[in-house]
Amino acid sequence: MLIRRETPADVDAIRAVTNLAFKNGPEAPLIDWLRADEGWIPEFSLVADGVIGHVVGTRGYVGDFPAVGIGPVSVHPDHQGRGVGKALMHAVLGAAEARGERAVILLGSPGYYSRFGFRLASEFGITPPVPEWGPHFQARLFGEVPAGAFRYAEPFNRL
């Protein structure tokens, strides 16, 4: 499976696969808003095999400490359960570690994301923007990170 950075030619296909994966929820517009935001990190917007899947990571913060917020992660429904999401996650985590990022944060199923080394963020003293997210709010650390409240890139506040 080929994982690569998104290009401008991929934008419409990313929007389409995200809408299919999330049943036309707010995730596709969120990605468009993120592209226009100062928190956009092009190296962390990755596609799989002709855009059957997409992952994006943007600049977030634990207090004032920089971190990466992962999401959305989208896989076309016809390709789910075939390792596309797994390959995208390994690629974005490898890119984050190689770039020297020390924390990657996401909201998702602990049963799924624990296989990538994620643990509940509360174990590290990192709190979610919405307290009810606690049981699904996770972190993977590559180094020392101070405890504190996490905030995503600004476009997440529009949801």
Confidence grade of residue 19 (pLDDT, cut at 50, 70, 90): very high
Which residues partner with 67 through β-bridges?
60
Tell me the per-residue pLDDT of 50-87, one tens digit each, with 9 for 90 and over.
999 999 999 999 999 999 999 999 999 999 999 999 99
Residue 135, number of CB atoms within 10 A of its CB: 11
What's the whole-model pTM score?
Answer: 0.96
Confidence grade of residue 39 (pLDDT, cut at 50, 70, 90): very high
Task: Write down the pLDDT at residue 36.
Answer: 98
Task: Write down the pLDDT at residue 124.
Answer: 98
Q: Which of 99, 20, 101 is nearest to 60 (CA)?
A: 101
Tell me the per-residue pLDDT of 84-137, one tens digit each, with 9 for 90 and over.
999 999 999 999 999 999 999 999 999 999 999 999 999 999 999 999 999 999
Average pLDDT over residues 26-38: 98
Task: Write down the pLDDT at residue 99.
Answer: 97
Are 152 and 127 within 8 A, CB to CB?
Answer: no
Question: Phi-psi bin for 118: left (phi > 0), alpha (psi -120 to 50), beta?
Answer: beta
Average pLDDT over residues 17-35: 98
